[in-house]
Chains A and B, each alone.
Chain A
Amino acid sequence: MTDPDFTPSRHEERTLSTTPAAHPSLRELTRSEWRWTPTVGVAAVLLLVAIRIFAPAEWTSWMTDPAKDFVTLSVSVIIESLPFVILGILLSAVVQIWLPAGFLLRRLPRNAVLRRSVISLLGVLLPVCECGNVPLTRGLIVSGLSVADSMAFLFAAPIINPITIITTYQAFGWNDGILISRIVGGLVIANLVGFIYSTHPAPQTLLTRSFQAACAVDPHAEHGTRTRRTLISFGRESAAMMPALIVGAGIAGLIQVAVSRNLLITLGSNPLWSVLALMALAFIVAICSNVDAFFILSFGSTFLPGGIVAFLIFGPMIDIKMLALMRTTFTVRTLVQVSVLIAVCAAAIGLAVNLVF
């Protein structure tokens, strides 16, 4: 907790944490929950498995084809993203609990521009796509990284993670400068966002209040063994991430069923429209950055390289699922600003690539 901005809210937190004393029943409830928890856990597991095995197909036989596709697509997003979200939560716990306090922050350069550059490059070490980066970024903010710096990490990491770079290379090689434009463009935008928000007078107000409160609890000051704290942190982060993931997956599935892709794809061969249409496609498809290169490659010659670059830069940073996940951490106002800023930058880079190559 090196950031002085944390102090007031932390103080407030201390005050708040004494309020339960006024509600003696809360403490009692905690005890009684503790007693029935293991039984309920086992019962819940058995119940869920039983539902899955015995639920008759007739219950849902009334569903129309679009309704079935909606469920299939949403479930597909959940199952594909779940491992990365879990991995992100675990890495976040490692940063907060298993690494010594300030392990990361102490090693960062003091110069602001240099520090953000280093942070935006940290993603090279982490094979986590965008959905896993949200819990990790939350962990970094809780550990004391400034909001602006953590944004530089959040937006750069999915693009420069090693798997993304390899798959983009496999898909496009060095053709049309797509790989280079993606990496450089992603880093430039992430650093730009970081720079712009570093001038914000009250960076804490960019965060949702509930997350500000979560930041105010210093994880290193919590008691209990590390394993225990890891499990508690897992419970806390999954409470924030999982509902957002479900909602994001639902919206992504709904849009896929409702919006025809044909129009977007038809627009893809026009120098200007290709950039905008493919950004719209990236937004609604909400595909993982690790494999988006293969996805867009499958449309191959239909699209101009600038459109593809805009897709590959914009998609990992902003899409339906990401907005739902980031909403756990940033205010709506912040997300709108960031989305517009990134969209404009990605479009500019895409158009530039169309003109140059």
Chain B
Amino acid sequence: MSFSRLITRWKGLALTLLAAIATGWLGATGQLGLYIHPRYYVFTLVMAGIAFVLTIGALLVIPGPDEHDDHDHGMHGEPDGRGPDAHGDAGAGRRRPLLALGGSLTALVIVAAAAIALLVVPPSALTSAAVEQRSLNGSSNTLANAGPPPGTSDDTSAYSVKDWASLIRQGASADDLSGRTATLTGFVTPDADDPDNVFYVARFVVTCCAVDAQPVGVPVYSPGWSSSYATDSWVTVTGAFEANPSVLSAATTVVRPDSLTAVEQPAEPYVY
């Protein structure tokens, strides 16, 4: 009985503490960008700090020395938000100890799962598995603000993967981009149609958090690339644009690399 009671009383605070500590740690180590857009950093960290203070405060006052059990009824048998009805009766624990025990075990599993996901698994960026789910360069408007193809006098040295992907998506051909040298940093993801000869240098574009990330990428023609570079590893490519020599690939314009070097994943792997 006291086990169920302990769990129902502490699970919310335990989860809040977990989430607040995980958020604070991500913020302190500069890894929040793996999960949310930079515009939310301050708000998220401030609220995590408030959550932390409130949790500590709540730990100190619940249950107070003169506390009657009045508050318990609201918490009792509200196990996990999934099955409150089955064991949601106030005081269910007293009448149906098995159900209360089941609810407590569910709550324990949730706390453990949250602890593993938030505290044990090392933070990581999305992988190529997510690229397959979300159609590379499929979101037209992420890429629609590119404007006309750059004139020969325009400086394109600062163009990112997103900028070049927009230009190509808008139909800029190899002719339009001839004489242009692009320097691109992103992760390697294979071309769906010709994975032997073509890969994409890709980035995720994030509007709010990793959930809405959309992959964009620039195709690179480099036969046998997979022997030197693993999928999801980060590379910097420098090269000129040309018509795609691959007959299988759907991409029309590719970068023919002059240099291709492995690099570390940048601190902010997503673009905005």
Contacts and interface: CB of A to CB of B under 8 A. Distances in A.
Interface of A: 12-13, 16-17, 19-20, 23, 25-27, 29-31, 33-34, 37-38, 40-41, 44-45, 48-49, 51-53, 55, 57, 59-60, 63-66, 68-69, 71-80, 82-84, 86-87, 90, 208-214, 216-217, 222, 224, 227-228, 231-232, 234-248, 250, 252, 256-257, 259-262, 265, 285-288, 290-291, 294-295, 297-302, 324-325, 327-328, 331-332
B69 A26 contact: yes
A217 B81 contact: no
B176 interface: no
A51 B122 CA distance: 11
Contacts of B26: 79
- Give 4 closest A-B pairs by Cβ, nearest first: A300-B141, A239-B12, A244-B81, A214-B74
Contact of A210 (B88, B133, B140): B88
Contacts of A324: 81-82
B212 A82 contact: no
A211 B211 CA distance: 31
B22 A208 contact: no
A281 B113 CA distance: 26
A272 B129 CA distance: 30
Contacts of A328: 78, 81, 84
Given A16-B73, A75-B118, 13 more contacts: A17-B70, A71-B117, A75-B121, A80-B40, A82-B20, A82-B51, A211-B88, A213-B73, A260-B132, A287-B208, A288-B208, A302-B141, A327-B81
A300 B43 CA distance: 28
A287 B113 contact: no
Contacts of B47: 82-84, 86-87
Contacts of B67: 30, 34
Contacts of A231: 54, 57-58, 60-62
B248 interface: no
Contacts of A23: 1, 94
B80 interface: yes
Given A79-B209, A213-B73, A235 B19 contact: no
B64 A228 contact: yes
Nearest to B57: A231
Contacts of A74: 117
Contact of A236 (B19, B75, B127): B75
Given A26-B69, A30-B67, A232 B25 contact: no
Contact of B44 (A79, A214, A260): A79
Contacts of B68: 17, 20
B36 A265 contact: no
A261 B69 contact: no
A65 B127 contact: yes
16 contacts: A16-B73, A52-B119, A63-B121, A73-B130, A75-B35, A78-B117, A82-B19, A86-B50, A87-B47, A224-B64, A231-B60, A235-B9, A287-B208, A291-B212, A298-B212, A302-B139
A13 B90 contact: yes
B115 interface: yes
Contact of A73 (B73, B207, B211): B211
B90 A213 contact: yes
Contacts of B209: 76-77, 79-80, 287-288
Interface string B204-219: 0101111110100000
Contact of A286 (B1, B22, B210, B211): B211
B218 to A, nearest CB: 18
B75 A49 contact: no
B228 interface: no
Interface string B106-143: 01001001110111111111111110111100111110
Nearest to A87: B47
A266 to B, nearest CB: 9
B119 to A, nearest CB: 5
